Amino acid sequence: MGYVKVPGKVTLLGEHAVVYGYPALVMAIDLYTRAAVSDGEGAVEVESTYPGGRAETRIGLDGRGGDELPYVKAAIKKVWELQGARRPAKVSIASELPYGSGLGSSASVSVATLAAYSLSYGVKLHPDQLAKLGREVEVQVQGRASPMDTLAVSLGGLIKISHEKFEVMGGGLSVKAVIACVGKEKSTGESVAFVRKRKDELGSRFDEILEEIGSLVESSSKAIKDRDLTQLCLLMNRNEELLEELGVVTERSLNLVRRARALGATAAKISGGGFGGCIVALGGDEKVASGLAAIADRVFLVTESNGVSYG
């Protein structure tokens, strides 16, 4: 019946400060979740593959089953609610995004499932709709969720987000990056709780750090509009220093950042909540990727991507 492709995302600026109302800059990347839908009988049958794993499940039209893939199940039920009917189908999902790495895997899978399964009803959802519905799926599964990830994977490109407002940034930078990932030591929720505790420990300095991170994001708007990649890199490097001061950068991630810069990256910083996960490096490309492969669990060469596409 149809096919969709949904990118992942990487955060370039604004981690943790965004939780306290400051803006963040996020970029869709060309690592994708692909989902296809075809006719089925009696249930929604799902086959899902992702780096390091594979799962199959069956979601009955009575809503039972599918708990192995909570984002997929919630997305299927969201479509039922939207369309007012329950249709059997076969849904095949293949993701290139490692789970829990900060690259938007849950947002990408949620949006891909919403888009693909809606095609079985003859409905092609608009990216704006997918961003909204995808966030609703993430809130249902996680209890709370920023609109940042689902906006990035649905709309694509570079997006500055603050509270519920967002701006799709132009500028034609065509950003290329190296992403290097290591295991997470804390979940995003645990990272946020750690930073909240640091607020008490750092006192007024905590507010100064977040305010400066917010100003870096605002400055990035001008850099993007001026197509000034060098300035964007300087802003990212300063953001990394502030995240290190917050205490969310592990020794292993710091080693990746230092190695990337030593190999010629113009910018290198963690991306996401910290305590492991991914770093993002701009400049250097293949040389940086090759050098980081020896000390990272996974390395990707990525470019800025468009949003949801239908095949």
CATH number at residue 151: 3.30.230.10
* pLDDT, position 101: 83
Q: Is residue 311 part of a domain?
A: no
Contact criterion met (CB below 8 Å) for 282 and 267: yes
Instruction: Indicate whether 98 and 163 sit together in one domain.
Output: yes
* Partner residues linked to 194 by β-bridges: none
pLDDT given for residue 60 in this prediction? 97
Token pair, residue 48, equals: 């899902």
Domain-located, residue 218 = yes
Tell me how crowded residue 103 is: count the other CB atoms within 10 A of its CB.
32
d(CA 87, CA 45): 11
Looking at residue 171, its pLDDT comes to: 60
Same domain, 181 and 284: yes
Task: Work out the average pLDDT over 247-267.
Answer: 96
Q: How many residues are present in the chain?
A: 311
Helix (H, G, I), strand (E, B) or coil at 22: coil
Q: Is residue 266 a part of any domain in this protein?
A: yes
17 and 161 housed in the same domain: yes
Are residues 96 and 8 in contact, defined by beta-carbon separation less than 8 angstroms? Answer: yes
Strands annotated E in the chain: 2-13, 24-39, 43-50, 53-60, 89-95, 158-162, 165-169, 176-182, 267-271, 277-282, 298-303, 309-310
9 and 133 in a single domain? The answer is yes
The domain spanning residue 209 has which CATH number?
Answer: 3.30.70.890
CA-nearest of 40, 137, 37, 33 to 82 is 137
- Tell me if 96 is assigned to some domain: yes
pLDDT at 143: 80
pLDDT, tens digit (0-9, with 9 covering 90-100), for 89-124: 999 999 999 888 889 999 999 999 999 999 999 999
For tokens 């290329």, the residue is 176
Residue 152 belongs to domain spanning? 2-169
Residue found under tokens 């708007």: 221
In this structure, are 90 and 188 located in the same domain? no
Least reliable range by pLDDT among 65-69, 162-166, 250-254: 162-166
Q: Which of 66-75, 104-113, 167-176, 282-291 is the least confident region?
A: 167-176
Report pLDDT digits (tens) over 125-165.
999 999 999 999 999 998 877 788 999 999 999 999 987 78
- Can you list the alpha helix ranges (DSSP code H) found in 143-268? 148-155, 188-202, 204-225, 229-246, 251-262
- Domain membership of residue 192 (yes or no) is yes
pLDDT of residue 175: 87
Residues 145 and 183 in one domain: no
* 58 in the same domain as 161: yes
Q: Are 175 and 236 in contact (CB under 8 A)?
A: no
Residue with tokens 């295991």: 183
Is residue 34 a part of any domain in this protein? yes
* Domain match, 184 and 146 both: no
Question: Taking 80 as the threshold, does the pLDDT of residue 173 lie above it?
Answer: no
The number of domains in the chain is 2
Q: What is the pLDDT of residue 289?
A: 96
> Coil, strand or helix: which one is 15?
coil
* Domain finish residue from 169, 202, 217: 169
Q: Does the pLDDT value for residue 80 go beyond 70? A: yes
The whole-number average pLDDT for the span 76-97 is: 97
| Same domain flag for 83 and 156 | yes
Tokens standing for residue 167: 């701006």
pLDDT in tens, 210-225: 999 999 999 999 999 8
Q: Does residue 62 have an active-site annotation?
A: no
Residue 155 lies in a domain: yes
- Which of these three, 118, 152, 169, is where a domain ends? 169
Q: Average model confidence (pLDDT) for the chain?
A: 93
Q: Give CA separation, 272 vs 19, 46, 189, 214, 248, in Å.
A: 12, 29, 11, 15, 10
> Nearest CA to 7 among 148, 149, 108?
108
| Most distant CA pair in the chain, distance | 61
Residue 309 in any domain: the answer is: no
Judge if 126 and 67 occupy the same domain: yes
Check whether residue 11 and residue 131 sit in a common domain. yes
pLDDT of residue 120: 96
pLDDT bucket at 234, cuts 50 / 70 / 90: very high
Percent of the chain at pLDDT > 70 equals 99
Q: Are 95 and 51 in contact (CB under 8 A)?
A: yes
Q: How far is CA 129 from the centre of its chain?
A: 18
Model confidence at 41, pLDDT cuts 50, 70, 90, reads: very high
Q: Do residues 290 and 199 both lie within one domain?
A: yes
Q: Which residue among 149, 200, 285, 297 is the active-site one?
A: 149
**Which of 114, 138, 169 lies at the terminal end of a domain, its last residue?**
169
